[in-house]
Amino acid sequence: MPTVEINYLAVLVAAVINMVVGAIWYSPVLFAKDWSKLTGRKANEMGDGSTSYVITFAGALLQAYILTHFVSYSGAVTAVEGAMTGFWLWLGFVAITQGVNTVFAGTRKKLLAINTGYFLAVLLINGALLAVWVK
């Protein structure tokens, strides 16, 4: 495998962006009401407090670190190329797996759209960021 130079500051910023997008996405400004209705849970019942945020941030760091590799492997050096890398990863690994889970679990398609839409936004933004902020 090719060696990838990792800009750890860019990875950290991408993880923070992931958290900020999530905070906005699942807030009353956007989809908190619909998410609550579709899951039967109140917004304050999301996760189990600080532990959920620590785990989510660790996942966001790992996702940004891995996305850095794919951006490098694809040769993306512009925001559009980075966003496209994020899009293809989302389509191949998020949308499909979540779509299959939705079909078999019988959950609502609107919930699929909310949850996978969040990851689409994050992967587009962070793919673009990591492509232009490579070193």
Distance (Å, whole) CA 21 – CA 121: 8
85 CB contacts (<8 Å, ≥6 apart)?
67, 70, 71, 74, 76, 127, 131
Alpha carbon of residue 115 to chain centroid: 9
pLDDT digits (tens, 9 = 90+) for 47-90: 677 888 999 999 999 999 999 999 999 999 999 999 999 999 99
Q: Write the CB contacts of 1 (distance below 8 Å, at least 6 apart in sequence).
A: none
Name the residue ranges covered by the structural domains of the chain. 8-132
pLDDT of residue 115: 96
Q: Which of 94, 95, 75 is nearest to 85 (CA)?
A: 75
Task: Provide the greatest CA pair distance for the chain.
Answer: 46
pLDDT at position 26 is 94
Position 50 scores a pLDDT of: 82
